[in-house]
Structure 1
Amino acid sequence: PAVDAAAITFEWIRPDLKPRFVHVWHSGENLVDLQHPSYKGRTSIFEEILKSGDISLKLSNLKPSDEGKYRCFIPGWNKESFVELVVDAASTFFIVGIDRGSDGVVLQCESSGWYPEPEVFWLDGEGNLLSAGPTETVRGPDDLYTVSSRVTVEKRHSNSFTCRVQQNRTNQTRETLIHVQDNIFKTQCSSGTVIALAVFLALSFFTNLILWIRYCRKRY
């Protein structure tokens, strides 16, 4: 109700934590001694609007571990309400690499600072999905994910490729465009060409050997 809440007691609680208290307001002051250690210095209320009955909680420096169900409880009125907090993080930072491989050009894409764990997709210049190897995922001490992926590509009309990182739960998508210069693609010899070249070199060697033996016999 729209009454002055400055003089009442109310609690913000995480039922799954011990101690469970996220923020406790009692008769005009914050009871920080009751607070769970992970929330120390990161919670506050809007004291200027307490008079209108607004006891909203503000969380600063949000962490993935803050995700969960919060209970707002007023003991004197025996009233409570629950809020489900969903945390997500999406990054715009990419590290890309281009390298020559035995079967084509190898593209590498890495992106960090994601939560929850995202997926990585590769697309060609026409928007078609490319077949890539398994995504490597590392979860850091801050609970944020770093993902990296590689794909081998051959020369195409546009030589433009897109690395897309997507987090489906909160519909977050980031992508970067990679353009490969024509001179990066080295000419690949087919197996038939390699065999023919080997036979030619072998025949040339034996022919030259025979000519050298004949020359030696005539000379000596």
Structure 2
Amino acid sequence: MMDIPGISFSGLAASFCFIVLNLKRSDDFTVIGSVYPMLVNVGEDALLSCQLLPKRSATHMKVQWYRSEPSTPVLSYWDGDEVTEMQMEEYKGRVEWIKDDIAQGNMTLKIHNIQPSDNGQYWCHFQEGSYFVEASLQLVVAGLGSAPDIHMEGTVESGGQLVCTAEGWFPEPQVYWKNARGENMLTASEHYIQNGDGLFYVESTLVVRDTSLETVSCVIQSPILHEEKESTIFISEKLQTELASLRVIGPSQPLTVRVGEDIQLTCYLSPKANAQNMEVRWIREHRYPAVSVFMNGDQVAGEQMEEYIGRTVLVSDAIDEGRLTLQIHNAGTSDNGQYRCLFEKDGVYQEATLDLKVAGVGSSLLITMMKWKDGEMQLMCFSDGWFPQPHVQWRDIEGKTIPLFSEVLTHDSYGLFHVETSLLVRNSSIVNVTCSISNSLQVQEKTSAFSLSAW
């Protein structure tokens, strides 16, 4: 039995109470549909029905099921045949008419393999000549996902943390932690991601500092089904595992690479330990989706962030010593930032943080001159391809800084900066000037000199 607050269901065999929802009607007939929402689990089939009253044959009528617009139906039936030309793309091959009772004015739409995107309102439309009637039905989709998976980092004495993850839920589930007495515990953070199938991944973090804690449970609950899944972690057992006594070491200094170069992210266990049977995960902010996941001797493709697909290679020739290197090809500005390298085994993980600085050294500088009236001149200096935001200066022949007149920095589609800066020259004694643009990450500068005496 599945329930929505105040409403009871029994799968697709739910009893229907009917309500008339007419937008426009003829003098001869109307249409009725279910007043109650229909609750269907992800992956099941749904049957949506509506009935003409008084009962009459719909064989020669135009009948449609649609979501928001009649012009793009879920499915159309006209004069005895299905019409699929304008059918919504996501329903092609997934829907069919159940026409057993069409002579009695009953039209049932069957939707196979229900997905989260099917959640919402549907309209049943009957038309005869210039008259039409419609009824609305509500389809509620629910997905009961995986049981929570709890991982532990560090020790209770040092203020370790527990991370609870689960996937495959719809709609967004509720998550809470409780101690052995059943008391709720304060969550440090929660994170939800809806994947391409519309299902939710949830990640909840709990900081533990109470040395008396023996067990902690994570509970994931569906707000629609009123069902929950629970997992419990035994802290004392986890503290005795192999990984609890190890550390993960990463670079002590930030890594700097140029745009277009390959990135090398290396981390290792200390003291040395064989990581062949461990899960190693490189992530940005959250565990899922990941930059790359290594498990059972190979990379796992299904959990990878879209922007890293096809760009990563794992170097694992020293895995028996606990050392792995992730190569990321063709560094871009979006790769800039912090990474975390996680080693995990038996529900315990340790991690190291890696800082990556991506630098874009721009094009050669181009200076052009515009003559203004009254002896004033404006010089323009241009350059493309800088990252992060560069520092721009004009200098005289002695190297002294000259106040610039204007500066405009814009991003291109790759996140690189385009620089336009101008200098207004009013003093005719200034005959040589230099435009310079520098990148603070690589302490690198590009310059271009301009001589007014040549003009």
Superposition TM-score, scaled by structure 2 size: 0.37
- What are the residue-to-residue correspondences of 1:193-212 with 2, within 5 Å? none
The Cα offsets for residues 4-51 of structure 1, whole Å up to 9 and x where unpaired, read as 43443211111258x431110111111011100011111222133333
Moved more, 96-105 or 127-136: 96-105
Q: Which structure has the highest helix share of the two?
A: 1
Return the match for 1:87 from 358, 366, 369: 358
Q: 2:316 touches 2:325 (CA, 8 Å); kept in 1?
A: no
Quote how far apart the aligned CAs of 1:54 are. 1.5
The Cα offsets for residues 29-88 of structure 1, whole Å up to 9 and x where unpaired, read as 110111000111112221333333221222211111112221111111522111122222
- What are the residue-to-residue correspondences of 1:103-118 with 2, within 5 Å? 103-118=375-390
Question: What is aligned with 1:10?
Answer: 280
Quote how far apart the aligned CAs of 1:170 are. 5.2
Tell me the distance in 1 between the aligned counterparts of 2:340 and 2:289.
10
Task: Indicate how the Cα distance of structure 1 residues 16 and 86 shifts in structure 2: closer, same or farther if over 3 A, else same.
Answer: farther
Letter in 2 for 1:88: A
- What are the residue-to-residue correspondences of 1:26-105 with 2, within 5 Å? 26-76=295-345, 78-102=349-373, 103-105=375-377
Task: Indicate how the Cα distance of structure 1 residues 108 and 16 shifts in structure 2: closer, same or farther if over 3 A, else same.
Answer: farther
The Cα offsets for residues 97-140 of structure 1, whole Å up to 9 and x where unpaired, read as 12322233321111111111112111111112112212011111
Question: What is aligned with 2:103?
Answer: none
- What are the residue-to-residue correspondences of 1:101-140 with 2, within 5 Å? 101-102=372-373, 103-140=375-412
Tell me the distance in 1 between the aligned counterparts of 2:286 and 2:404.
40
1:148 matches 2:420? yes
Tell me the distance in 2 between the aligned counterparts of 1:116 and 1:2.
37
Paired residue secondary structure (1:135): strand
Tell me the distance in 2 between the aligned counterparts of 1:180 and 1:133.
17
Percent of aligned pairs with the same amino acid: 24
Tell me the distance in 2 between the aligned counterparts of 1:133 and 1:21.
46
Paired residue secondary structure (2:402): coil
1:24 matches 2:24? no
Q: 2:299 touches 2:314 (CA, 8 Å); kept in 1?
A: no
User: What count of residue pairs does the alignment treat as equivalent?
Assistant: 181
Superposition TM-score, scaled by structure 1 size: 0.73
Letter in 1 for 2:314: I
Tell me the distance in 1 between the aligned counterparts of 2:311 and 2:439.
27
Tell me the distance in 1 between the aligned counterparts of 2:417 and 2:308.
22
Higher relative CO (CA 8 A, sep ≥ 6), structure 1 or 2?
Answer: 1
Q: 2:279 touches 2:295 (CA, 8 Å); kept in 1?
A: yes
Aligned CA-pair RMSD: 2.2
Letter in 1 for 2:339: Y
Question: What is aligned with 1:209?
Answer: none
Paired residue secondary structure (1:55): strand
Moved more, 43-52 or 79-88: 43-52
Moved more, 90-99 or 112-121: 90-99
Letter in 1 for 2:369: I
Q: 1:164 touches 1:173 (CA, 8 Å); kept in 2?
A: yes
Q: Which structure has the highest strand share of the two?
A: 2
Question: What is aligned with 1:191?
Answer: none
Quote how far apart the aligned CAs of 1:169 are. 5.4
Tell me the distance in 2 between the aligned counterparts of 1:131 and 1:13.
44
Structure 1: gaps spanning 5 or more residues: 185-220
Q: 2:280 touches 2:294 (CA, 8 Å); kept in 1?
A: yes
Q: 1:6 touches 1:47 (CA, 8 Å); kept in 2?
A: no
Tell me the distance in 1 between the aligned counterparts of 2:322 and 2:359.
30
Return the match for 2:433 from 161, 169, 175: 161
Paired residue secondary structure (2:317): helix
